Structure 1
Amino acid sequence: MIRTLAMPLRWLALGLLLLQVEAFYIPGWSIKSYREAEQIPLLVNKAYSDNTQLQYAYYDLPFVCPPTGRRHAGTGLFSGQSIALNLGEVLRGDRIAASDIELAMQRDQTCNVLCNREISRDDLRRAKELIEQGYVVEWVVDNLPGATSFVTVDKTRKYYAAGFKLGSVDYSGSKPRYYLNNHHTIVLRYRRAPGKDGEKGGKVIVGFEVYTKSVGAGVKRNSEGCPADLRNIDEGFELFVRPNNTRAGKNAAEFVPEELEEGDGKLTIPYSYSVYFREDNSVEWNRRWDLYFVNQEEGSKIHWLAIINSLIICGLLTGIVLMILTKTIRTDIKGYKEASAEDGKLRLKKPKAKSEKGLGLLEQDGEADDGDLSDDGEALEDVTGWKLLHADVFRAPAYGHLLAPLVGSGMQLLFMAIGLVLLSALGVLNPSFRGGFISFGVGLFIFAGLFSGYFSARVYRTFDGQDWRRNMIMTAVLFPGMMFGVVFVLNLFVWAQASSTAIPFGTLIAIVFLWMCVQVPLVYIGSWYGYVRSGAWEHPTKTASIPRQVPRQAWYIRGPRTVLLAGLIPFAVIFIELLFVFQSVWQDKSGYYYVFGFLAVVSAILVLTVAEVTMVTIYVQLCSENYHWWWQSFLVGGGSAVWVFLYCVWYYFVKLHITGFVSSMLFFSYSFMACCVYGLLTGTVGFLTAYAFVRRIYG
């Protein structure tokens, strides 16, 4: 059993080492240097908001400058040309395309007119809706998202928030007034390129900032159409069509209609931009993403608090498990070599002249008490508890044909999760690898079909299953099919909103291809090897033909009570770290979660905690003479998923300000899917730990 605990402890030690690992770029990977006056492509991506889950491609917005299709010299890109995306980028809603904005290294541009966009009544209403919902826009230069720059309260540190606002709302009057940001000041920070490129005059970009202004139509402009004085703008660009004096009366300047009326004509929006290059030697190229990691230095103290909290809980559980192993169980079996249960009595046979040392606790030698052993017909003592279940404890569970595929899928998810956390903690998956986390996750999940089939087949054969091909199909289809079905239904709602969050039909076909043509064959290979070549796990005791009657159980180990009570402990280990994850995923999309070293440690502690909670719970159940532990171990291991989902519900009502039916449905659906993944993963950890524990004490 000590060996059973050793493996999670090794993972915990590895996680503590990962705390010292900082995000880094693989040397020489994706470094791009520019010569003076060399063209730099500016790409537009999407608009998104912290108040909704719907994203929109930038060029799908009806009130922005449409692409002209002009070719950019030196870049080979046409304005409006879509950039090839990886699977992760598509799934996260990215829709990147080349823009009409011209950038040349170290060439400042005081002001350029981009376009004069004429919009209709519906377009105006759409712009107001997006501004009111707090949408921000993401542009990309040299793989850096355009950022809004902020300074901490003590004015000692600058940090970035990805994206910039579409506009603002003024609520000071009787009715809200909407202002559109139609001038963008682009600041590109650069420094000398490292290595030989720098010696040849190459420069690398280390910062991309965008500052917005709302410039009214009545502002004085020069002959090119640019504002004459960008520093002194006293009138913003308000989103409404100013009526003539006849309709508005004397207060035409203060007239604010509720909406644009038919016949009022169209509104023309003048867009312009400025470009400035600033040398900044204080930021290394491989540290240029640090400014996007909002408040992580301050949050590190809370992360350490989460780890200390987790270690305390895990330490208490470890003490309980060791007490069970070193005192309770060993005391229960002291002096026994071979036991058989009959009529509530534990009877012992005479010791053999030459005995072998058993591997299990029931077979451990008790030489000091050999003289106290009685004859076969003599009852040594009245005994109840786990020792009476040796003929029933390995009886195959009901619906074992369903449990085996779930365990297989859980192993698949466990392999994927370990790979993602390790690659992220080591810096391979970093923010510069846009969409890399999702792409690698899908790839690892597909490849882990081998492990899914193998473990599912071995568990299935251990349950005396006969049709391993049917089990293989269940393993390959059950969990992935459920996830795909939910995503497809959600996609229909998102498609109706014309959002870039919707997965394109071609991408859905590609996912189905990967599922059916890659994962299913891998599951088949793993199932064949696990069922035919490896076979079932051998049990240390034989199962009786007649099942033993289970006595009435205490209230705390009946039904879902055990699952909920046991699930509280793993949830207490992770709930602080969950707050940071939720904040990054749902509340602060302009920031980046990138403290995977802490996450790796908390995850290792979580696995160890789930294993120990499951062992204690199953031991208590066996002591109550209840041998139905197979499903119970799986449910207890995944029980904290219920509390995580309740935490999601609390977070939605207390922390978030999501509006709209579709966005709320997406939140709860994605949260439910994430909790299913988490529950399946931790349930598998609990099942395998309990199986190893039971085999050990009965072996």
Structure 2
Amino acid sequence: MFLSALVGIGTQLAALILLVIVLAIVGMLYIGRGAIITTFIVCYALTSFISGYVSGGLYSRNGGKNWIKAMVLTASLFPFLCFSIGFALNTIAIFYRSLAAIPFGTMVVMFVLWAFISFPLVLLGTVVGRNWSGAPNNPCRVKTIPRPIPEKKWYLTPSVISLMGGLLPFGSIFIEMYFVFTSFWNYKVYYVYGFMLLVFVILLIVTICVTIVGTYFLLNAENYHWQWTSFSSAASTALYVYLYSIYYYHVKTKMSGFFQTSFYFGYTLMFCLGLGILCGAIGYLGSTLFVRRIYRNIKCD
């Protein structure tokens, strides 16, 4: 259930980022930071059908029965994480009497968007996904009795594969992260959205390729528990981005004090959570297609 919700949310975030970047490229979006954040929030609500559809179909194909609980988890998990971080930062801003505090009216509008647009769309997507793509369609017969997994070398363990899986995807966006952080924290205008689209597409391709390689090594070691490993190996990209943010904070910025530090790492954590879920979902979907492909023509005893 939890994996289905994460994959659904990550797929929605990927579509959301593509949509916002395209809007910025065609000139329909003012490049100011406030306008982009507002567009992200509105488009997140409008694209919620995607997360419900992907999550509902995946949960049903894996034999899940409690689809209502899965739907609620899909609709509320990422907004709840962002709200928790935002609430903590807003409390700090109010304590310091800073203008960075989010007005109460803005929070009400965001809740209305979630309750009356995002949540119903997730519900609709879940119902459609369960009925249109929820039937099990395994490429070969699956044994009901789990086979014991043999011992393997340390570098073929899921934990090592998960940690190593994020290195290459992070390398593909390393340079772009500098410009994104500079634009957001040093108040520079970011306008090369065409290059950002190219980097984002490269990130998706590299993430899928690296995750497929990790899944192949896992299956070759006779370990069939590839689902969570494929997700975590791609999601670990966010871990390296967060480590880079620590370096950027100490070397490239002049921030100091509890207020600035908390806001920097709080919003960076929010960004990395979204990036990790996005990459994890893309990696899982790529590995799923790979596994289905290699097992399609296998005759099982």
Instruction: Bin the TM-score by the shorter chain.
Output: over 0.9
The amino acid across from 1:674 in the alignment is F
The amino acid across from 1:497 in the alignment is Y
State the partner residue of 2:4: 404
- Name the CA distance, whole Å, in 2 between partners of 1:434 and 1:608: 28
- Name the CA distance, whole Å, in 2 between partners of 1:434 and 1:602: 20
> 1:479 aligned to 78, 84, 87, which one?
78
Structure 2 residue 198 is the aligned partner of structure 1 residue 601: yes
When residues 456 and 644 of structure 1 are mapped into structure 2, their CA distance, relative to the original with a 3 A threshold, is same
2:166 match: secondary structure:
helix
1:444, CA displacement in angstroms?
1.3
Contact 1:415 1:444 in 2 (8 A): no
- Name the CA distance, whole Å, in 2 between partners of 1:683 and 1:673: 16
- Name the CA distance, whole Å, in 2 between partners of 1:478 and 1:629: 23
Q: In angstroms, what is the RMSD of aligned CA positions?
A: 1.3
CA distances 1:199-250 after superposition (whole Å, capped 9, x unpaired): xxxxxxxxxxxxxxxxxxxxxxxxxxxxxxxxxxxxxxxxxxxxxxxxxxxx
Contact 1:459 1:536 in 2 (8 A): no
**Count, aligned residues:** 296
- Name the CA distance, whole Å, in 2 between partners of 1:539 and 1:651: 46
Structure 2 residue 40 is the aligned partner of structure 1 residue 452: no
CA distances 1:372-428 after superposition (whole Å, capped 9, x unpaired): xxxxxxxxxxxxxxxxxxxxxxxxxxxxx1101111111111111110111112222
1:517, CA displacement in angstroms?
1.6
| Structure with max Cα Rg | 1
Superposition pairs of residues 464-613 of structure 1, within 5 angstroms: 464-586=63-185, 588-589=186-187, 591-613=188-210
- Name the CA distance, whole Å, in 2 between partners of 1:425 and 1:563: 34
Contact 1:453 1:522 in 2 (8 A): yes
State the partner residue of 1:415: 15
When residues 684 and 472 of structure 1 are mapped into structure 2, their CA distance, relative to the original with a 3 A threshold, is same
When residues 698 and 434 of structure 1 are mapped into structure 2, their CA distance, relative to the original with a 3 A threshold, is closer
- Name the CA distance, whole Å, in 1 between partners of 2:72 and 2:195: 38
1:657 match: secondary structure:
coil
Contact 1:458 1:537 in 2 (8 A): no
Contact 1:420 1:441 in 2 (8 A): yes
Superposition pairs of residues 94-493 of structure 1, within 5 angstroms: 401-431=1-31, 435-493=34-92
CA distances 1:241-275 after superposition (whole Å, capped 9, x unpaired): xxxxxxxxxxxxxxxxxxxxxxxxxxxxxxxxxxx
- Name the CA distance, whole Å, in 1 between partners of 2:136 and 2:28: 37
Contact 2:57 2:134 in 1 (8 A): yes
1:636, CA displacement in angstroms?
1.2
The amino acid across from 2:5 in the alignment is P
CA distances 1:51-87 after superposition (whole Å, capped 9, x unpaired): xxxxxxxxxxxxxxxxxxxxxxxxxxxxxxxxxxxxx
State the partner residue of 1:695: 292
CA distances 1:130-157 after superposition (whole Å, capped 9, x unpaired): xxxxxxxxxxxxxxxxxxxxxxxxxxxx
* Structure 2: 5+ residue stretches without partners: 297-301
1:533, CA displacement in angstroms?
3.6
* TM-score for the superposition, normalised by structure 1: 0.42
Structure 2 residue 267 is the aligned partner of structure 1 residue 670: yes
- Name the CA distance, whole Å, in 2 between partners of 1:694 and 1:559: 17
- Name the CA distance, whole Å, in 2 between partners of 1:499 and 1:490: 11
* Structure 1: 5+ residue stretches without partners: 1-400
- Name the CA distance, whole Å, in 1 between partners of 2:217 and 2:158: 14
- Name the CA distance, whole Å, in 2 between partners of 1:661 and 1:580: 25
Contact 2:58 2:134 in 1 (8 A): no
> 1:631 aligned to 212, 217, 228, which one?
228
1:557, CA displacement in angstroms?
2.2
2:65 match: secondary structure:
coil
1:434, CA displacement in angstroms?
6.9
Contact 1:455 1:530 in 2 (8 A): yes
- The structure carrying a bigger helix percent of its residues is 2
Q: Which protein has greater RCO, CA pairs closer than 8 Å, 6+ apart?
A: 2
Superposition pairs of residues 630-669 of structure 1, within 5 angstroms: 630-669=227-266
- Name the CA distance, whole Å, in 1 between partners of 2:145 and 2:89: 49
- The structure carrying a bigger strand percent of its residues is 1
State the partner residue of 2:299: none
* TM-score for the superposition, normalised by structure 2: 0.95
- Name the CA distance, whole Å, in 2 between partners of 1:434 and 1:441: 11
1:505, CA displacement in angstroms?
0.9
